[in-house]
Chain A
Amino acid sequence: MRNPVYTAIAIGVGIVVLLGYFLQFDLLINLRIILLEWATILVATTLLIGVVNLFIVHWRKSTTDQPNRVNSIALLAGLTITLGVAGWFGPTDPYSLWIFNYILIPIEASLMGILSVVLIYAGVRLLRRKPNLLSIVFIATAVVILLMTGPLFGIDIPGLAELRIWIGKVPAVAGARGILLGVSLGIIAAGLRILMGADRPYGGN
């Protein structure tokens, strides 16, 4: 164990925040709010550290002879220019918004375009990799929903619209709720393990 003090602080803070959520006592609620505000400030700081980490990684790559170092140089140039423009003129200035509207949004939109192709390819690959009943049901459901979401050249196939609504309302919702219940139990278990000190993501395992 690295330091039992860290573990004690983590367990204590976790218990106060958990109890402050369930029990409506002023002292607990106020303590919970203060602790969450501190955590918010800490998380915002880690965002800045994240940017610094990104910069250091790509600085190393661009200054050494590594494959695709051009990408790292482009990233560093983009980061510096965006930071400079938004820092100097402000994030809502037309110059900053120009970068956002004409560079960032088109890049993300093109990635979304690529994503649709990748997803179709993944569907085909799924049938080749695991040609079982589950995969067939998965692909058939996706195709039915896709067919009924688009206009389908104005052709109205009787029963398909109802089928789509039924799939959306009954099996899809039932499956999603089942998965979410399992996920919720997993979340509680992970949280309790940390509160008990059995898991220490803050170091000291």
Chain B
Amino acid sequence: MDRLNILGLIFVLVFFGLMIAASVVLRQREGRKLREIPAFVRLRRAIGLAVEAGSRLHISLGRGQLLSSQSAIGYVGLSILDRIARSTSISDRPPVATSGEGSLGILSQDTLQDAAKYLGVESDPMRGRITGLTPYSYAAGTLSFIQEEDIGANLLIGSFGNEVALITDAAERKVGMTLGGTDNLTGQAVLFAAAQEPLIGEETYAGGAYLGAGPMHIASLYAQDILRWVLIGLIVIGAILKLFSVL
């Protein structure tokens, strides 16, 4: 059996064990303190303001295919959509979701319908829209959607390339808050420049934990932090060994 595959499986199992251990420890301890990420502080404020002002929240889920590694960021976006749909229950105008991929569009409709059922309100399936199926048609469809609707804040959480700049530009013109996070390096660079509140690297994946999606989201953050330090240690040791020509 390939040694690399075994190492990979061990890594995943260690991650799994750390998540379980962290969730047990968190259950025993009172008060779960997370590092403050300004983007999520502003997002919580924006949710409150949108509910008060009667404006919509728009969540753009990107165009990540469900059969690739991009699916993970899509699931994070759906998690955030679910939390927001439930926390804006008293709003006259429930949140809307746009996506650039068929399966993500269906899942967003399902998530919104699920939240509506939980709150005991009617749900319009058209609140989960597919605005285009290629990168630029998706961007064009989403920006015209932002221009037409009365949107208080835009959350761009998903897989985006450089076309996300067109969406953030439309959002900026509407003077709403724009928060953006993606798994794509080019998209991250663009969002750093164009979004009001960019999320860098793994910050995007922490969205569920910061919006109260459940204790396992917080446990996974602790597991990530531990493994990140392990990886940093291994990289530093590797670099030192390489410096002294041991490797």
B5: chain A residues within 8 A (beta carbon) = 21-24
- Does A187 count as interface, using CB distance less than 8 angstroms? yes
- Does B205 count as interface, using CB distance less than 8 angstroms? yes
- Does B75 count as interface, using CB distance less than 8 angstroms? yes
A156 to B79, CA, bound (A): 52
> Are B202 and A67 in contact, with the CB atoms below 8 A?
no
Size band of the A side of the interface?
Answer: 35 or more
- Does A192 count as interface, using CB distance less than 8 angstroms? yes
Interface majority SS on A: helix, strand, loop or mixed?
A: helix
Least CB distance, A181 to chain B, in whole angstroms:
6
> Are A49 and B69 in contact, with the CB atoms below 8 A?
no
A193: chain B residues within 8 A (beta carbon) = 19, 216-217, 220
- Does A111 count as interface, using CB distance less than 8 angstroms? yes
- Does B1 count as interface, using CB distance less than 8 angstroms? yes
A136: chain B residues within 8 A (beta carbon) = none
B110: chain A residues within 8 A (beta carbon) = 202-203
A49 to B216, CA, bound (A): 33
B59: chain A residues within 8 A (beta carbon) = none
> Are A46 and B103 in contact, with the CB atoms below 8 A?
yes
> Are B139 and A183 in contact, with the CB atoms below 8 A?
no
> Are B205 and A187 in contact, with the CB atoms below 8 A?
yes
A203: chain B residues within 8 A (beta carbon) = 110-111, 114
Size band of the B side of the interface?
Answer: 35 or more
- Does B36 count as interface, using CB distance less than 8 angstroms? no
13 contacts between A and B (CB under 8 A): A22-B6, A43-B102, A46-B101, A47-B102, A50-B101, A115-B165, A129-B196, A179-B201, A186-B206, A187-B72, A192-B15, A194-B75, A201-B75
- The residues of A with any CB-CB pair to B shorter than 8 Å are 2, 18-19, 21-24, 36, 39-40, 42-43, 45-51, 53-54, 56-57, 60, 66-68, 71, 107-108, 111-112, 114-115, 118-119, 121-123, 125-126, 129, 138, 176, 178-183, 185-194, 196, 198-199, 201-205
A54: chain B residues within 8 A (beta carbon) = 130-133, 141
A43 to B65, CA, bound (A): 8
A2 to B110, CA, bound (A): 12
A46: chain B residues within 8 A (beta carbon) = 101-103, 105-106
- Does B8 count as interface, using CB distance less than 8 angstroms? yes
Assuming the contacts A47-B133, A119-B193, A203-B114, asked whether A185 and B102 have C-beta atoms less than 8 A apart, the reply is no
A188 to B9, CA, bound (A): 12
Least CB distance, A178 to chain B, in whole angstroms:
7
A115: chain B residues within 8 A (beta carbon) = 162-163, 165-166
- Does B40 count as interface, using CB distance less than 8 angstroms? no
> Are A181 and B163 in contact, with the CB atoms below 8 A?
no
A36 to B228, CA, bound (A): 31
Least CB distance, A114 to chain B, in whole angstroms:
7
> Are B214 and A198 in contact, with the CB atoms below 8 A?
yes
Least CB distance, A62 to chain B, in whole angstroms:
13
CB contacts under 8 Å to A, within B223-243, are: 223-224, 227-228, 231
A182 to B231, CA, bound (A): 10
